Structure 1
Amino acid sequence: MQLYMLALNPTDSVTEGFLPAARRLGLDITVLTDQPDTHRERYRAIHPAPELLGCDVRDPHAVISAISAHRPPGAVFSNSDHLQTPAALAADYFGLPGKDWRAALRTKDKALTRRHLDTSEGVRSVELAADADPGRLAALDLPYPCVVKPREGVASEDVIQVRDAAELVARCREIRARRPGAALVAEEYLPGELHTLETLGDGERLHVLGGFRTTLSPLPYFIEERMAYVPAHPAGLVTEILDRLATLGVGFGACHTEFVVHEGRARIIEVNYRAIGDQCDLLLADLLGLPLFELILRTHLGEPLPADLGARTDGAARLDYPLARRAGTLTAAPGATDLTVDGVRLTYRPTRAVGERHDLHHTNRDFLGILRSVGRDQATVDRVAEGFLAERSWEITA
């Protein structure tokens, strides 16, 4: 069966997760991408490498045309935030299983998300259209501090807390300088503990895979520094989040939802209608003992999920993301490492090569590496992970 996978830049989720899963399922794989040379370089060590077709994957018309001129599709899939709507529209065009394109658009567009959840969430939010002057925001009755973000952004890119109207306008102008014509959203800052909920559905049955408790960098930025696995959030909070996902139309394939808990109330930050990234999905598959990537692909092949996934429930885990704290050249850093300490499996992978120079982005592009730690109890996992990080150093020279 022919699988078309839509992608922008290469990611660990695709390279280490979905491509091997598709091969295990016996699928013929074609990657549609606007960056074929970058993918070709990333897949040099993969045998057999997937077929690559250049395509403007953000454009549903271009995707449909490319597929129709090639082999008949059996499934159309993407794990990219930006490509859920094109993938859903293409799947629908060819009569294949997939996400409702309305739900995909509703979750990708943060202004649409807020408007759709208005009665249940009560988050004050305004949209600054792509052609609107940021100065108009100064006259609006927004609560401060508030948060400004691109309407269709990802990975905390240009997500900033601001303290007053003057700073809001200034930050919007800075973002516009980096992203000409970008539509922006300014919304009430939601205090509280940041959590995620990971779900997998087939359109009829929805499984909760647990979630993570997220530790962020100091404000005004929102960079993930640590993710600790939470097997089960309080039932009432989970019900609240699932009700809001149902309101958005979410229920097919993987979904990664971020929410805060404050004074016993849960409120959604954003809904990413795809599997969690930054190697959290690789950790989940290992921790739960599930063929997670195969299960996700099977939903797009039209197969129902079992009533019981058979996930393990006796594990503990966390991920750590050593960050660059300043711009400069990485002059020393640990290499890739796999080891077991006191029963905790440690997997460290660099995300930046020694000798590379980078600016400071205040996003996950500042990650220097990713440490995955999986064991049986959280106290031991925490001790071993913190020991690993303390014994290693990352040096940046201006």
Structure 2
Amino acid sequence: MRIYLLALNPTDSVSEGFLPAAARLGLDVTVLTDQPAAHRRTHPDIEVLECDVRDHRAVVTRISTHHRPDAVFTNSDHLQTQAALAAAYFGLPGKDWRATLRTKDKAEMRRRLAAAGVDTVWSAEVTEPVAPAGTPYPCVLKPREGVASENVVLVDDPEQLVTQAKEILGRRPGAVLVVEEYLPGELYTLETLGDGQVRHVLGGFHTELSDPPYFIEERLTFVPAHPEPVVAQVLAQLDALGVGFGACHTEFVVHEGRARIIEVNYRAIGDQCDLLLARLLEIPLFELVLRTHLGEQLPADLGARRDGAARLEYPCADRAGALVQAPAAGELTVDGVHLTYRPLRAVGERHELYRTNRDYLGVLRAVGTDQRTVDRVSAEFLAARSWEIQS
């Protein structure tokens, strides 16, 4: 059986998750990408074909002139609609392209949720640096189709809004920005996996952010089960968007018992959280995701382990410059906690300060059975190591 995997740049989710899973399932894999050289370096044993993957017509043509597909899949935020349309064209299982569009387009997501009567958030779209009439302050300014908190900023007044919009549009000419009311509350995630009929809730994370006005995710702590009323509210909002097939990573806030979606990433959670989930829950997470795209039904019980505790930490750059000292990759077990550290920036690399997850210097994954022990061991690991940047 052949699966076509659509991708932009190589990611840990694909390299360490989905490609090994495809191999374990005995699948023939063809990667379609607009960055073939990078994928051939990273995956020298995988067939890689160049394709304008942002254009669903080019994807259909590339597949139809190659081998017959059994599945079309992507874990990229940017390519979900293209993959959904290609899968539908070939009569294969996949996500509803309307749902992928609603989740990718943050303005359309707000309109859909409001029309369904499940949540109404004040929002407006802008294409130039202006402060829309009626904007509630504080508000959040972000790209309509952005990811990873990039160019997302909290704004306190009209003057700041105009200034920040001008800066973002200068970096992203032609972009459409969304201005929306700030939603207070603690930030969480809900991780789900479905086959269109059955939907499993895998748990979620409590996310700790950087100080305002930016929204960099610095630490995530696993939450085995959110309160049932909270889960019910989030799932109702996902139902209104038509989300229910494959993996989905949903970010939401809870304030006075009310759960409100911030954004929906209709794919597996990234930044190595998916790798941690697979280990923590002791389920073949990546294989299960691929099986849904091959048309297989999910089991009624995934057999997930429920006594685990976990934490992810992201040491971040605090200024622009070259990384001159940093710890190497490593794995060790301390007091029953399995630690996995992976660098995300090589020593010698010079970078600007991005105010996004591109400032991550590395990621620490910690898995155990007692949260206090996991937290302590993680803190001690990080305190014993240093990252030095020279401006």
TM-score by length of 1: 0.97
Amino acid across the alignment from 1:210: G
Equivalent-residue separation in structure 2 for 1:395 and 1:191 (angstroms) = 34
1:133 shift after superposition: 2.8
CA contact (8 A) 2:128 2:169 kept: no
Superposed CA deviations along residues 282-327 of structure 1, whole A, max 9, x for unmatched, are 0000000000000000000000000000000111001000000000
Q: CA deviation at 1:189?
A: 0.7
Match of 2:304 in 1: 311
**8 Å contact from structure 2 (residues 124, 132) kept in 1:** no
Counterpart among 70, 76, 80 of residue 74 in structure 1: 70
Question: For 1:317-332, what aligned pairs fall within 5 Å after superposition?
Answer: 317-332=310-325
The answer as to 2:208 corresponding to 1:215 is: yes
Give yes or no for the alignment of 1:260 onto 2:256.
no
Alignment of 1:213-252 (within 5 A): 213-252=206-245
2:346 to 315, 338, 353: 353
Q: Are 2:91 and 1:91 aligned? A: no
**1:190 CA displacement:** 0.8
- Aligned-residue RMSD, C-alpha: 0.7
Distance 2:163 2:98 in 1: 33
The alignment status of 1:124 with 2:122, answered yes or no, reads yes
Query: Is 1:134 matched with 2:129?
Result: yes
Q: Distance in 2 between matches of 1:58 and 1:110?
A: 18
Cα deviation for residue 122 of structure 1 reads 1.9
Whole-angstrom distance in 1 between the partners of 2:104 and 2:128: 23
Q: CA deviation at 1:134?
A: 2.3
Counterpart for residue 4 of structure 1? 4
Task: Output the CA distance in 2 between the equivalents of 1:61 and 1:169.
Answer: 37
Q: Match for residue 335 of structure 1? A: 328
The DSSP-based 3-state class of the residue aligned with 1:133 is coil
For the residues of structure 2 that align with 1:80 and 1:100, how far apart are their CA atoms? 16
- Structure-1 separation of matches of 2:88 and 2:146: 25
- Correspondence 1:57-72 to 2 at 5 A: 57-72=53-68
Contact 2:128 2:165 in 1 (8 A): no
Q: 1:120 offset after TM fit, Å?
A: 1.9
Question: 3-state DSSP class of the match of 1:6?
Answer: strand
CA distance in 2, matches of 1:370, 1:43: 22
Describe the SS at the equivalent of 1:228: strand
The letter of the residue matching 2:84 is A
* Letter of the 2:62 counterpart: A
The match for 2:268 among 272, 275, 288 is 275
Q: How does 1:163-182 map to 2 (within 5 A)?
A: 163-182=156-175
Alignment of 1:160 onto 2:153? yes
Partner of 1:193: 186
Structure 1: 5+ residue runs without aligned partners? Answer: none
Over 2 Å off, 4+ runs: 132-135
Q: Distance in 2 between matches of 1:139 and 1:28?
A: 51
Corresponding residue for 1:150?
143
- Aligned partner of residue 117 in structure 1, secondary structure: helix
Pair 1:382 & 2:380 matched? no
In structure 1, the residue matched to 2:358 is 365
For 1:378 and 1:366, how far apart are their aligned partners in 2? 27
Per-residue Cα deviation, 1:100-119 (whole angstroms, up to 9, x for no partner): 00000000000000000113
SS in structure 1 at match of 2:187: strand
Q: Given the superposition, is the C-alpha separation of residues 354 and 245 from structure 1 closer, same or farther in structure 2, using an over 3 Å criterion?
A: same
- 1:16 corresponding residue in structure 2: 16
The aligned amino acid for 1:34 is D
C-alpha deviations, 1:25-77, integer Å up to 9, x for none? 00000000000001111224xxxx11000001010000000000000000000
2:333 partner SS = strand
Q: How far is the alpha carbon of 1:139 from its aligned partner?
A: 4.6
Distance 1:69 1:122 in 2: 45
Paired positions, count: 389
Confirm or deny: 8 A CA contact 2:118 2:236 kept in the other structure: no
2:12–2:271: 8 Å Cα contact kept in structure 1? yes
Q: Which whole-Å CA distance do the structure 2 matches of 1:104 and 1:126 have between them?
A: 21
| TM norm structure 2 | 0.99
Once residues 285 and 348 of structure 1 are traced to their aligned partners in structure 2, the CA distance between those partners, rounded to angstroms, is 16
Percent identity over the alignment?
A: 70
2:104 to 86, 101, 108: 108
3-state DSSP of counterpart to 2:236: helix
Cα shift at 1:127: 1.1
Q: Structure 2: 5+ residue runs without aligned partners?
A: none
CA distance in 2, matches of 1:317, 1:172: 37
Whichever residue aligns with residue 287 of structure 2, its letter is: E
TM-superposition CA deviations, 1:193-220 (whole Å, max 9, x none): 0000000000000000000000000010
Q: Deviations over 1:12-34 (max 9, x none)?
A: 00000000000000000000000
SS at match of 2:26: coil
Structure 2 counterpart of 1:134, one-letter code: P
